[in-house]
Structures are given as structure tokens and as C-alpha cells.
Structure 1
Amino acid sequence: MDRRSFLRAGAFAVTTAAGGTFLIGCAPTTRNSASNATGDPNLPEVAFVTPFQHIINYIDVYVAVQEGFFEQEGLRVKPIGGTGTASSVSQVTAGQGMFGKAASVITAPLILDTGAEIITVGQNDQVSQYSVASDPAKPLNNPSDWQGKTIGVISKGGSTELLLDAMSVTAGLDPANVRKVVTGADVGSLEFLKRGEVDGFITFLGSETALRQRGVELNYLNTDKFAKVPGDSYFVKKSDAQSKGEEITGYLRACRKAYEFTEDKANLDKVLSAMSAFNTVEVSDKELARLKIEAQAKLCKPANGKYLSIDMPAWESALELMRKSGIVKDKNRPLSDIVTSEFVDKV
């Protein structure tokens, strides 16, 4: 779907969420004790709605559940596997979850152009998860290299297509001169390149890690090189930001502890166990899972070493770029309408 269709779909989900039923999957917590299987029942339960199922990208939450970091903050967190970024946004907006996760390229236009009452409170990805992969013999190292060519994106109208367009705009080029086709998010995207159907395709951290593990030689150009736009970040309803500050700060503190725990290679088995409780497939190949976990921790660690810190200069320049590229139509509302460091600064 295109961006407008995506936004309409999100709005429809919000409208129906209050009275409808979501088909969502959630996994049990992974505490070893049966009495703690769902955490302390006396603690308030809040839900985190993932953008997509249960994968290593959200490892901080699974580790925080298993290691009791949320309970230390007086919270009982239920991770809910979403069916797409739209579901994460719509369920949080409708009160079906307190925390969601999405990139700024999605949340900014939703907030500024459609009036979504959400705000980002913690930045997970400090570096883009996405890269343009190409044949090393015909490398794509600049947006000018793919003008008039075909590039594979993960989904039509989603983050990767918007980022690809923004890269062209940054280079002073017309995104319309690039043909985009959907090649998906897994290693199967490589087949499109092998068959000559695309000149390059966008990978995300998981598929890039898997391709590298298989020894596939590709040229990778991270999207940050031309369009530095903050990636997946935690968001909440603005009303919750006003009334549930302690819970938000506690959630972020627990997730930061989980990232620090995950970063320690001595904890690998426990981290794998935390992921396995929600999705055994993600850790069926232990070596690949290890590589993904290490890459995820590295990608999420900011220069100051404090996980979930918000890079405000990056958000400011990203908003300017999104306006310039047409991703965001609004020209006047302030950055503070889409992101705040109020809570993570208290961690």
C-alpha cells in the first residue's frame, strides 16, 4: 500500500479498535518459577505491542521480562506480537497497549499530518537497520547510481520505500526516476538480484546478518549515509505521557538494563532463552541468533553508551528532510510534538 493508504489503514484500525477484537498472539513470560509465570499479579500490567511478531529486534523486552527487570520497576509487561507497524500504532492509540515501537519516518507523518496522539519517548535504533544491497561488481554507493534502475523494497509504501525516496531527495534527485518493487524482508530477496529483476534491494539487520553468515558477498550502503532518520523507537499515547510518567521511566529503565545484560556475551544463553520463550524459530540456529543479538546490541548503543537515549539533533535534521521529501506535509509544528527526552533523561 502507498503512504496514504497506510495512514488510512492505521486510522481505520484506531476507529475499530475500541469496539473490535484484535487477532493478536502473545507468549507467556519466561520466569522459571511457576509462581512467577506471569509476574507478580499485584503489579499493574501494561502491554508492549511489537511492530511485527516476536523477533530479536525486541530482545530488550524479552530479557527484561525473563530477568525480572520490569518487576523491579513495579511493572508487569506483556509483549504482544503485532501484525505490522500500523497495528502497533493503532492498538496503542486505542488503549490496547501502552507501548509501541515504530520509526520516525512512520510516526512523524502520523502525528503531524493525521493528528495521531502519540509521542516518542525512547530511541532504540541509533543506526539504521536498513542498507541497499547490490552486486559488488556493480555497486550502488550513491542515489545517482540507481536513477533509472529498479530497487527492491521490503514493502510498498513502508519505511524502506520512504527512506529510499529520502535518499534520492538528499542527493538532489527525483525519487520518481527509481522503480520500486517488493522483494520482502528475508534472504529470499537475493534471488531477485540473481535473476536480474532488480539492480539492488534493501536489507534489514536480520537478513543482512543471515546473508553475511552464509558467505554471500554483497555491497551494502546503509541508508543513514544519505538519509539519517531515527529508526525504531518506543512511543506512547500523549495522554499516558502526561499521567503515567513513572511507569514510562520505569519501562525505559528496565529496557536499558536488558540491553546492558544482552551486551555481555557471558549472558548469551540466558538471552537466547528469553527469545526462545516467545519464538523458538528465532533461535533455532544458535550461531545466527548470536550474530543477530550482537548486531542488535551494537546498532542500539548510542555514542554516550546510554541505551534508549534520544539523538535530538538527528530528529531535528530528520524532520527537515521528511518535510523536504514530502513524507511530512506539515511545515509548522515543533519537534516537541513528535518526540521527548523527558522520561529517558530520568533513567
Structure 2
Amino acid sequence: MKGFSKVIFLSLMTSLAALLFVGCSSSKETDTIRVAEVTRSIFYAPQYVAISEGFFEEEGIEIDLTTTWGGDTTMTTLLANGADVALVGAETSIYVYAQGANDPPINFAALTQTDGTFLVSREPIENFDWDMLRGSTFLGQRKGGMPQMVGEHVLRKHGINPQNDLNLIQNIDFGNIPSAFASGTGQFVQLFEPTATQFELEGLGHIVASFGAESGTVPYTGFMAKQSYIEKNGDVLERFTRALYKAQQWVQSSSTEEIAKSIQPFFSDTDMEVIKSVVENYKSQGSYATSPRIKEEAWENLHIIMDQAGELPMHVNYQDLVNTDIADKVTK
């Protein structure tokens, strides 16, 4: 009987240990967040770093990343519950709010804090001056989008009226702008990277100025989620934002080469030297946000830019569409 009791005891202890092991191993659950990004861009390097360097994984987050190609498509995906979080320009949240959305998208984390486009000329210019655009044909970005609104803002800053002082073309689809310039349309064009750098390497154009360096701080691209999702998933978004903040700090302290190597898997068709050049351009002008907190002065600057472009449907208070609680928690 004693031997039999000992066997039962050992069996029970083994079973208990197994249960404890299972409990411990599953105590940290992994939450999947579906992220819809407006485009695939080196401009968003900290997001890809957070994935490749395992910062999301450390926080128990698995990212299901989809590129939805365009602000309208990205916002529609978020509102239709096709994504939990959208990476898109903050201006889209203002457009939706102005339409009376019952469950508006709320901006909770910044990713980029300047414009990401560059002014490219067809001919090389040694001593560029913005006044050289007067009377030229300027191939701008899509009307109503942040790139075009910032582009017009910078032109006005330099005393150029976009509608009167040059021939402004802004009716070409985003994806066709580079090919339109390459085929001979325009003397100047507003381009994102890596296209601007690739044009230089191929002799198709020459980078003469940065709209990001001229625009001032704006909530250019960031993460937003519907208000109801934030209310139900505050802890998950806190861990998401903590991972993002780790990546932002990592980008800030790492070399251009280290950053390029980290994000290269997301840009397998882009030459490594081009990736490094683009990262250096964005990092040197402070385009990558160093904190997820969206600043109120940046929010107000966004309103000024939109209002000047005639695209501001209404002024929306910072507190109405920006959640700072999550960013404050992870940065303290």
C-alpha cells in the first residue's frame, strides 16, 4: 500500500508540475494587431525596425501588416474593421471627424514628424533658390493629400503663390507621378524617396531641396485606431506603443547602416546603397519621430497647412482626436 500511495503521489506531483508549466508558458499571450499602412516606404523605418528587431514580439504583439496604398483606402479599411490600427496621415482623421463619425479614428502614436518629399529638378542646379520655380511647370502631388498641402505651404513660405506664380499640375495619380516626370512632364517635381534618389542615380533628375526641412513639425504619419477599439484594447495598444518607442530610440541611436540592414527585408527590390542614402536623408532632417507623443503645436501646424490649402473642413481640437495617455505611459 505504501508503494502504491507513493506512485499515486509521484503521479499527482508530475501532473501538477505539468499543469504549472503549461500555465507559466501560456501566461504571456500573444495579441495580433492588424495594421494597414498607407504605403510601403523607408519613411516608416521605425515601424519595420520594431518588427525586425523583435520589439513587438517582446511585448507579446504579433503584427499582421497590410499595405493599403492610399489614404482613402487605408481609412476605409480601418472604418470597415478590416484593420485594427491604421498608419496614415493625421489629416484623414480630421476629414472623417468632420463628416460626423460616431466612432472616429483617434491618433495615438506619431511615426514621422516632417514631410517626406523632396523637390527634384530636371536640370542640375548648383545654387538653388525657391524663386526659380516662378513661371515653371511644377508636377505636384494629389490635391487634398498631405504632400501637396505641405508643398503649397512651403511655396507660400517663400513668397510663391501656387495657383498664380507657376503652372501647378496636381491631377496625376500618385503612382504615375514619377513616370510622368521621367517622360518629360514638368521642370520640377515633388517626389518621395527612394524615387528621388533613384532618379538622381539614373540621371533623370536632381534633388535640390527638401520639403521636410521646410515644413516644420507636423503629425505627418502616425498610428490611429477607432475610439471603440482604444477603449476595449488599451493594454494591447500600450504594449504596441511601447514597442514602437523602443524602435524609435533604437533608430535614434543606431547608424544609418544598422538601420538600413534592419529594414532591408521590407525593401528587397531596393539596392542597399539606396536604402542607406534614403535613411540618412530622413534621419538627418529629423523626419523620424523620437517619441510616440503627438505634440499640440504640431497638430496646430497641421491645421494651418490644411487651411492655407483650402482643405480644412473644420478646426478640430487637439484633445478630440489625439490620445496622449498611451504615449505618456510608455515614455515615462
- Name the counterpart of 1:150: 137
Q: Distance in 1 between matches of 2:118 and 2:129?
A: 10
Instruction: State the one-letter code of the partner of 2:189.
Output: F
Does residue 1:67 correspond to 2:53, yes or no? yes
Structure 1 residues 44 and 184, CA gap change in structure 2 (3 angstroms): closer
Is the contact between residue 194 and residue 274 of structure 2 (CA under 8 Å) also seen in structure 1? Answer: no
Does residue 1:231 correspond to 2:220, yes or no? yes
Structure 1 residues 169 and 110, CA gap change in structure 2 (3 angstroms): farther
Pick aligned residue for 2:307 from 323, 328, 339? 323
- Name the counterpart of 2:255: 265
Pick aligned residue for 2:34 from 38, 44, 47? 47
Decide which structure has the larger Cα Rg and report it. Answer: 2
Gaps of 5+ in 2: 1-26
Equivalent pairs, count: 295
- Name the counterpart of 2:242: 253
Instruction: State the one-letter code of the partner of 1:133.
Output: V
Q: Tell me the secondary structure at the aligned position of residue 121 of structure 1.
A: strand
Shift of residue 325, structure 1, vs aligned partner: 3.2
1:201-228 CA distances to partner (integer Å, 9 max, x unpaired)?
1022322333455676442142552575
- Name the counterpart of 2:327: 344
Is the contact between residue 167 and residue 226 of structure 1 (CA under 8 Å) also seen in structure 2? Answer: yes
Q: Distance in 2 between matches of 1:75 and 1:334?
A: 31
Pick aligned residue for 1:119 from 93, 106, 131? 106
Structure 1 residues 228 and 274, CA gap change in structure 2 (3 angstroms): closer
Instruction: State the one-letter code of the partner of 1:102.
Output: V
Shift of residue 111, structure 1, vs aligned partner: 2.6
Shift of residue 190, structure 1, vs aligned partner: 5.3
Structure 1 residues 163 and 77, CA gap change in structure 2 (3 angstroms): same
Pick aligned residue for 2:273 from 261, 275, 287? 287
- Name the counterpart of 2:190: 202
Q: Pick which of 250-259 and 183-192 moved more.
A: 183-192
Is the contact between residue 53 and residue 262 of structure 2 (CA under 8 Å) also seen in structure 1? Answer: no
Shift of residue 232, structure 1, vs aligned partner: 1.2
Structure 1 residues 232 and 139, CA gap change in structure 2 (3 angstroms): farther
Q: Distance in 1 between matches of 2:118 and 2:32?
A: 37
Q: Tell me the secondary structure at the aligned position of residue 319 of structure 2.
A: helix
- Scaled by the length of structure 2, the TM-score of the pair is 0.74
Shift of residue 47, structure 1, vs aligned partner: 0.9
Instruction: State the one-letter code of the partner of 1:206.
Output: P
Does residue 1:241 correspond to 2:230, yes or no? yes
Does residue 1:219 correspond to 2:202, yes or no? no
Is the contact between residue 166 and residue 227 of structure 1 (CA under 8 Å) also seen in structure 2? Answer: no
- Name the counterpart of 2:80: 94
Is the contact between residue 89 and residue 219 of structure 2 (CA under 8 Å) also seen in structure 1? Answer: yes
Instruction: State the one-letter code of the partner of 2:323.
Output: T
Does residue 1:165 correspond to 2:152, yes or no? yes
1:156-207 CA distances to partner (integer Å, 9 max, x unpaired)?
5433333333345556765433421438568656535xx4x31311022322
Shift of residue 236, structure 1, vs aligned partner: 1.2
Is the contact between residue 131 and residue 204 of structure 1 (CA under 8 Å) also seen in structure 2? Answer: yes
Q: Distance in 2 between matches of 1:148 and 1:112?
A: 36
Instruction: State the one-letter code of the partner of 1:340.
Output: N
- Name the counterpart of 1:18: none
Is the contact between residue 113 and residue 218 of structure 2 (CA under 8 Å) also seen in structure 1? Answer: no
Is the contact between residue 144 and residue 311 of structure 2 (CA under 8 Å) also seen in structure 1? Answer: no
1:4-83 map, 5 Å:
42-52=29-39, 54-83=40-69
Instruction: State the one-letter code of the partner of 1:268.
Output: E
Pick aligned residue for 1:131 from 113, 118, 126? 118
Structure 1 residues 59 and 318, CA gap change in structure 2 (3 angstroms): closer
Q: Distance in 2 between matches of 1:170 and 1:301?
A: 23
Identity among equivalent pairs (%): 18
Shift of residue 67, structure 1, vs aligned partner: 3.0
Is the contact between residue 259 and residue 297 of structure 1 (CA under 8 Å) also seen in structure 2? Answer: no
Gaps of 5+ in 1: 1-39
Q: Tell me the secondary structure at the aligned position of residue 343 of structure 1.
A: helix
Is the contact between residue 69 and residue 257 of structure 1 (CA under 8 Å) also seen in structure 2? Answer: yes
